[in-house]
Chains A and B, each alone.
Chain A
Amino acid sequence: MSAPLIIFFVLAALAVIGAVSLILQKHPIHSALSLIVVMVALAGLYLLMGAEFVAAVQIIVYGGAIMVLFVLVIMLLNAGEEERTDFSKLAKFGGLPLALALTGLLAATMTTHGASVPNPETAGALAPTGQISNLLFTTFVYPFELTSFLILVAIMGALVLAQREKS
């Protein structure tokens, strides 16, 4: 077993354990910490695939900014343990089998149709960040500029939603 394969299985196990822990934890703050484990493991996988810039952005934006926002809201709302209420019958009996069926279907489709996907020929070659920025500012410049509008709208939306009502 080669070194990249071992690293892959360690990180994959870490990600799956984190995701399962997100489901099983009762307290939302524990779920948030589990999600951070998943995101860091995924950043490691991106590095393994040679996507160094995406890995850095994953840690900074996902593991940093977004999760800090989540933890902040959990603390702001003083969220306690989740209260148990009865599931609807559909979720109780159909939820798990249907989710398993979805996962199986996705995995089966990926493996059968992905069989033609070639495996990368060079191991550990890093994607040049300069090329990414070149693409971002030439081919993808319109979507890139549109994201600035999106963020502007999101900022205004968050402000309008979260402000206290003036009586």
Chain B
Amino acid sequence: MVPTQYYLILSAILFGLGVVAFVFRRNIITIFMSIELMLNAVNLSFVAFSQAMPATSGHKLDGQIFVLFVIVVAAAEAAVGLGIIILTARNRQSLNVERVNLLKL
């Protein structure tokens, strides 16, 4: 059986990689994808905790329900976010986040 901590460490690694992608990439679509990666990492730890929960507690499946809600919110976020990306690309003629600098001094 796989120890729960292995899943948690993998989740931490994936989250860290998501942060690195968020900081270092310049393309607005890739930055958005790194957010999805971080959401996925959190989902992994949710399911791992749900699996580790003893069945007698009566809350064993709560973690999986949370994951379903996170997926719903992520889908809604993707729809709105990609709308914003299309709008930004149309207005700025570029997908580079450095070019989105109207509020910059």
Using a CB–CB cutoff of 8 Å, the interface residues on chain A facing chain B are 2, 4-5, 8, 12, 15-16, 19-20, 22-23, 28, 31-32, 35, 38-39, 42, 45-46, 48-51, 53-54, 57-58, 61-62, 65-66, 69-70, 73-74, 76-77, 79, 82-85, 87, 91, 95-96, 99-100, 102-103, 106-107, 110-111, 114-115, 117-121, 123, 127, 131-132, 135-136, 140, 143, 147, 150-151, 153-155, 157-162
Contacts and interface: CB of A to CB of B under 8 A. Distances in A.
Main secondary structure of the interface of B (DSSP, over half): helix
Given A35-B33, A38-B40, A132-B65, A99 B14 contact: no
Contact of A119 (B29, B44, B52): B52
A73 B86 contact: yes
B2 A5 contact: yes
A40 to B, nearest CB: 11
Contact residue range for chain B? Answer: 35 or more
Interface of B: 1-21, 23-27, 29-30, 32-34, 36-37, 40, 43-45, 47-52, 54, 60-62, 64-65, 67-69, 71-80, 82-87, 89, 95-96, 98
A42 B1 contact: no
Enumerate the 10 nearest inter-chain pairs by beta-carbon distance, A residue then B residue, closest first: A103-B16, A161-B83, A154-B76, A106-B12, A110-B8, A19-B17, A107-B12, A158-B83, A162-B83, A49-B51
Contacts of B48: 49
Contacts, number: 235
A35 B29 contact: no
B26 A83 contact: yes
Contact of B30 (A28, A38, A50, A147): A28
A102 B23 CA distance: 13
